[in-house]
Chains A and B, each alone.
Chain A
Amino acid sequence: MGPDAPVVLELAGITKRFPGIIANDHVDFDLRAHEVHALLGENGAGKSTLMNILYGLYRPDEGEIRINGKLAHFTSSKDAIEAGIGMVHQHFMLIPVMTVAENIVLAVEPTRAGVLFDVGAAADRVREIAEQFKFTIDPYARIQNLSVGQQQRVEILKALYRKADILILDEPTAVLTPQEARELFGILQRLKAEGMSIIFISHKLNEALEIADRITVLRRGVKIDTIPREGATEASLARMMVGRDVLLTVEKTPGVPGKPLLEVAGLEVFDDRGLEVVKGVSLTVHAGEIVGLAGIDGNGQEELIDALTGLRKAHAGSIRIAGEESSGDSAREMLETGVGHIPVDRQRRGLVLDFSLAENLALRDFRHAPNSRLGWLFPNRLVARARKLLKEFDVRGGVPQTRAGMLSGGNQQKVVLAREIDRDPKVLVAGQPTRGLDVGAIEFVHRRLLSERDEGRAILLVSLELDEILSLSDRILVIYEGRIVGEFPPTVSEEELGLAMTGGGRGSGEEAA
């Protein structure tokens, strides 16, 4: 390997336009034999679009694809597969009710007597390939019974079964625990050693630095540069990704905690499948304090938020809002007790995209004066209130009658924020409040959260972004596998937090139980 290794794949001048936006603007990209090439960029930088073009799912408006020097025209993923390209999608393309073997051989099934599907042969073949790359997998297990990490291995096996020599992995670590990510990196190294060439899509700098031989950075659909790993640093990559030095530090004075407003003790919550995912969480948030809850995705955060906001019944434990026992309350009772909630998914849960902004701003208050009286709604008052809030929260691109779906993500989030804060909640539960936002909107949300803290609200900030947790929180709790495993001051180092988040040492924090 090295600069002299042959180029197996070349994308030249790829351009892809969607209504109102250019997703890829004359992007060049090449992949050499036996290398891991990381494709780095923020959400929406055009990474997935580029790879979907390579995998035959989109057609480029301009540009060429060359495989081993030969021009290729992909009209469907079938063509890409035949050209030796395999893809592990961010959202797995697996059929939950079918077995591992069935998923792997789908569309290239071994047959018996010409027409019958040979299940035994399929399973044997799967076992064979798995052994070759030192996986352990039961070919007859159903996908829905596998862990996320195992499912990802099935996806990789799918590509190997189809004799892929180029493997694309789209944000493969987003859904993995650190241990699983580590195992994945091991697998990738083995694949590389066996002769595969790998494209690794990510927005995480440290991962790119760890696994890649070369790194290409995309920003807003434009390729910024391709650099070897040697010499690259997190800072230099970050500058390339964002276009300026990243300064996510917010001016912050220490909080002045008052009396406890949110007290949670021994909370146990089940997920949709009936598994206990919050296993006895106890925490307290005081007035005038932001408590950051750090953790890797899928460690019970979402269910905890749901339980605190009445959207999910807790199995055991107590929740007290301003001293009032509130466990078992419905979502409506919770919001009327004074719990504000910025949901993780603003489009699926936080907003009714087909409602006007005025209607959305009343989503949590439409039952009360002045919005309505005795079941009679006053649309004019909704509009008047919306006009005031849109101004106050600097929502752009819409008037009260605009449909929420027409706004950009940042402005949508401002609408959610306006609605929740205007209700004057005692407790505010913020779930990943800056997910998918641009830098300007992130700053706005951060400032607003801090000023609400200073107004004396108790804020529980649940986030996957360590930067955000560190810069906003007055205290930091770490959740791991449904338990609070540590409490830290905001001066804690990222390394120490990271260790706690992966269930490693107890750090310096005392255990909150």
Chain B
Amino acid sequence: MTTVDQPVRAPAIAMTTRRIGIAGIIFGLAAFWIALPPLTVRSVVWPILVALAALAAGIWAVREGERRIGYGAIFSAIFGVALGYFATQTSLGHLNIVIVWSAILAAMLRYATPLTFAAIGGLFSERSGVVNIGLEGMMLMGAFFSVWGDVQFGSWEVGILAAMLAGGLLALVHAFFAIQLRIDQIVGGTAINFLALGITGYLFIQIYGEQGTPGSIAEIPDVRLHLDKIPPHALGHFLDGAIGQLNLMIWLSFLVVVLASIVMFRTPIGLRIRSVGEHPRAADTVGISVYAVRYGAVVLSGMLAALGGAYLTLGFVHSFNEGMTAGRGFIALAALIFGKWRPFGAFGAALLFGFSSAIADRLALAWGTSWQTLFQALPYLLTLIAVAGVIGRSIPPAAVGRPYKKQ
């Protein structure tokens, strides 16, 4: 046996090729961007020229061996020029309604936050080796019980605690069946989703009945930053519009991402979680309790997903409705996969999906809701493409989904 001999290319050249490929991708996007406000180039010539540059860079990168990035640049060029052409042909009025960057960014963050919480939750669970397709249900529990706690005690803080408790409890059920009884984790997650749908729906009808949740719930406050003072005026105005008034939970989600990254990759706890998810028997033989680590990770994932649900009700729509998470748990799962089981990757994917929701909203302003509906399928399609390995293969932790049996 010899060590693996990777085909080695001169690193410097490889780096340059990579950079040129990535520049190609950016140029492709730019072909679209220049046709949008504020630049709003109205002649189709410019997008075409920029896209040609992207195309050239892409082809060069492919020929130099950076196939994935190169093809990315070529696709980017094609999409860029197509959308750019579309934008130049659209009326200026419509463009100005749809493309208000600061509003889009703010909306993106609002849409992304529940996904971020749940995806980071999923990260802990799956990195420890337990598949969690019950994120949707745990989120729903958080959404309902946050309202319940809030209304009961008149405080959003209690609401958040109640949410985390409820999400954690449901996750504990999942953990017990997945870890202790070693049932198939996909089956277990499916059951969890049904259970959450039933429990929250039942209690919602039982407690609030026809009228729905009261209008007088204590909302999670926004953080008001007066960024419009920042010079130059245009920048200040833009920043203030984008992040000047964000809900507290949105800022909290940023913190959660950073913390998750540190815990997972810079602490002994993270090392142990990852070792349990990659090779539980190896972890066991050095004295790590596989069950304890997995229980902890799964319960934490339920609490984080529930935070996402709590934001949805107490910070976003201010009421609860049956099944209101509407698949966000699954988008979070998609974000996790799309982000290759990494905190910042998952966060980036959540932002991307949030962005597509925000754009969909804006499109609806100009062209009606019909396209908005179709646009919502985009995150799922992107994830499908990601698992198919077109945009860099997503490889899950080695032992994910496999119950561990102590000897």
Contact = CB atoms under 8 A, between A and B. Distances in A.
Interface string A55-95: 10110000000000000000011100100000101000111
Contacts of B262: 116
B4 A93 contact: no
Contact of A93 (B268, B271, B282): B282
Given A78-B287, A97-B278, A275 B5 contact: yes
B1 A298 contact: yes
B206 interface: no
Interface stretch (A141-149, A204-212, A345-353): A141-149
B211 interface: no
A52 interface: yes
Given A58-B407, A117-B266, A107 B4 contact: no
Residue among B5, B262, B267 having the largest count of chain A Cβ atoms under 10 Å = B267
Contacts of B289: 76
Contacts of A58: 407
A180 B289 CA distance: 33
Contact of A98 (B278, B281, B286, B287): B278
Given A98-B274, A117-B271, A93 B287 contact: no
Contacts of A97: 278, 398
Interface string A156-198: 0010001000000000000001001000000000000000000
B286 A106 contact: yes
Interface in B278-314: 278-279, 281-289
A244 interface: no
Q: Which of A52, A106, A298: most chain B Cβ within 10 A?
A: A106
Contact of A117 (B268, B278, B407): B268
Given A145-B3, A147-B3, A102 B271 contact: yes
A391 interface: no
Contact of B285 (A57, A98, A115, A298): A57
A111 interface: yes
B270 interface: yes
Nearest to A297: B1
A57 B270 contact: no
B1 A107 contact: no
Contact of B279 (A76, A77, A94): A94
B91 interface: no
Contacts of B279: 93-96
B146 interface: no
Interface string A129-148: 00000000000000011111
Contacts of B5: 275
Interface residues of A, number: 40
B275 interface: yes
A491 B407 CA distance: 47
B2 interface: yes
B362 interface: no
B275 A98 contact: yes
A180 B1 CA distance: 9
A116 B275 CA distance: 17
Nearest to B281: A93
Contacts of A102: 271
A340 to B, nearest CB: 30
A109 B272 CA distance: 10
Given A58-B407, A145-B3, A107 B287 contact: yes
Interface in B1-58: 1-5
A272 B4 CA distance: 12
B4 A145 contact: yes
Contacts of A78: 286-287
A488 B275 CA distance: 48
Contacts of A95: 274-275, 278-279, 282
A58 B275 CA distance: 22
Given A97-B398, A102-B271, A147-B3, A81 B278 contact: no
A462 B3 CA distance: 25
Contact of B288 (A106, A116, A273, A298): A106
Given A98-B275, A149-B1, A158 B267 contact: no
Interface in B223-246: none
Contacts of B266: 116-117
Contact of A115 (B3, B267, B271, B278): B267
A89 B281 CA distance: 11
Contacts of B267: 115-117
A144 B266 CA distance: 21
Given A106-B272, A117-B271, A273 B286 contact: no
Given A111-B268, A117-B267, A77 B3 contact: no
B275 A77 contact: no
A107 B278 contact: no
A466 B358 CA distance: 70
B398 A107 contact: no
Contacts of B398: 96-97
Given A58-B407, A97-B278, A116-B267, A107 B3 contact: no
Contact of A81 (B2, B270, B274, B286): B286
A68 to B, nearest CB: 20
A115 B275 CA distance: 18
Contacts of A150: 3
Nearest to A104: B286
Contacts of B4: 144-145, 273, 275
B278 A146 contact: no
Given A98-B275, A116-B266, A147-B3, A107 B283 contact: yes
7 contacts: A77-B284, A77-B285, A95-B278, A96-B278, A106-B271, A107-B287, A111-B268
Those 10 A-B pairs whose CB atoms lie nearest each other, nearest first: A78-B287, A93-B282, A109-B268, A107-B286, A147-B1, A95-B279, A57-B407, A95-B278, A93-B285, A148-B1
Given A93-B279, A98-B278, 13 more contacts: A55-B285, A76-B289, A77-B284, A77-B287, A93-B281, A93-B282, A93-B286, A96-B279, A96-B398, A97-B278, A108-B286, A147-B2, A298-B1
Interface of B: 1-5, 262, 266-268, 270-272, 274-275, 278-279, 281-289, 398, 407
